[in-house]
């Protein structure tokens, strides 16, 4: 599996981001650091990450005013920059995934979601991800959730 997340990509160029991410994460652990790996394959990234909220059938759930959006048959995904932006920046309750997924994994999972649950077969590439990620990724403050 590839190990360079977008934060690390930026750290290599910007120097600072990675240091900050590590410092902020010091408390964000059950006490220790896990070595959980995420697949590089689009469908598996979906199952290991996205499915937690968007469900196995990508239909989301919940009720009005407390909903998780469906990814299946979602016309907002026609434009690929939109879901790329969501993975890079987060939106509403959804966090950014720059500190969890590599650009390769983002491209793979977006290609899968747009192609498999929707009828947008043109692949999302790493070049697309880099093109959209113009700002340094967010660095999360520590919290106690992961821990």
Partner 1 sequence: MLSDMSPRSRRQLLSMIGKAGGGLAMYQAMTVFGHAAETRFTGPPQLTGARKGSTVLVLGAGLAGMLAAHELTKAGYKVQVLEFQDRPGGRNYSVRGGDKIVEVGGAVQNVGYAPGNYLNPGPWRIPHHHRTLLHYTKAFGVELEPFIQLNHNTLVHRKDAFGGKPQRYRELSVDFKGHVAELLGKSLNAGALDSSVTREDKEKLIDAMRQWGVLDGDMKFTGDLRVSAQRGYDKAPGGGVGGAPTPSKINSLSDVLSSQVWSQIGFFFSYVMQTTMFQPKGGMDMIGKGFYRQVGKMVRLNTKVTRIAQDDKGVTANWTDTVTGQSGESKADWMVCTIPATILSQIDIQVSDTKKAALKALPYSNSVKIGLEMKRRFWEEDYSIYGGHSFTDQAIGLVSYPNNNFFQDGPAVLLGAFAGRAGGYQFAGMTPEQRIQTALDMGSVFHPAEYRKEFRTGASVAWSRMPWILGCCASWTEQSREDHYDNLVAMDGRIVLAGEHASYYGCWMEGALLSSLDAIKRLHQRALAA
Applying CB under 8 A, which part among 9-17, 71-79, 93-101, 123-131 lies near partner 1? 93-101
Interface stretch with partner 1, choices 11-19, 73-81, 110-118, 135-143 (CB under 8 A): 135-143
Q: What would the two tokens of residue 85 be? A: 């932006």
- Smallest separation, CB 117 to partner 1 (Å): 15
Contact (CB, 8 A) for 29 and 146? yes
Q: Select from partner 1, ligand FAD, none the partner in contact with residue 86, using the beta carbon and a kind-dependent cut-off of 5 to 8 Å.
A: none
Tell me the C-alpha to C-alpha distance, in Å, between residue 138 and each of 1, 6, 88, 96, 135. 23, 10, 8, 7, 9
**Which three-class secondary structure state does DSSP give residue 40?**
coil
Binding to partner 1 by residue 138, rule CB under 8 A?
A: yes
Strand duo 61-63 + 66-68: pairing: antiparallel
Residue 9 is encoded by which pair of tokens?
A: 């990509």
For the segment 42-81, give every residue that binds partner 1 (CB under 8 A): 47-53, 55-56, 61-68
Residues at the site binding partner 1, with contacts judged by CB under 8 A: 26-38, 47-53, 55-56, 61-68, 90-96, 100, 138-141, 143-147
């Amino acid at each position: 599996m590839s190990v360079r997340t977008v934060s690390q990509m930026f750290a290599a160029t910007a120097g600072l981001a990675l240091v900050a991410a590590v410092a902020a994460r010091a408390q964000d652990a059950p006490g220790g650091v896990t070595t959980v790996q995420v697949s590089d394959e689009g469908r598996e990234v979906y199952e290991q990450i996205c499915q937690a909220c968007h469900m196995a059938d990508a239909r989301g759930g919940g009720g009005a005013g407390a909903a998780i959006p469906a990814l299946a048959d979602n016309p907002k995904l026609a434009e690929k920059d939109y879901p790329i932006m969501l993975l890079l920046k987060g939106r509403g309750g959804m966090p950014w995934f720059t500190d969890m997924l590599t650009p390769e994994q983002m491209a793979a999972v977006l290609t899968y979601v747009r192609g498999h649950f929707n009828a947008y077969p043109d692949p999302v590439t790493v070049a697309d991800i880099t093109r959209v990620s113009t700002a340094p990724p967010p660095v999360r403050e520590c919290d106690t959730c992961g821990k």
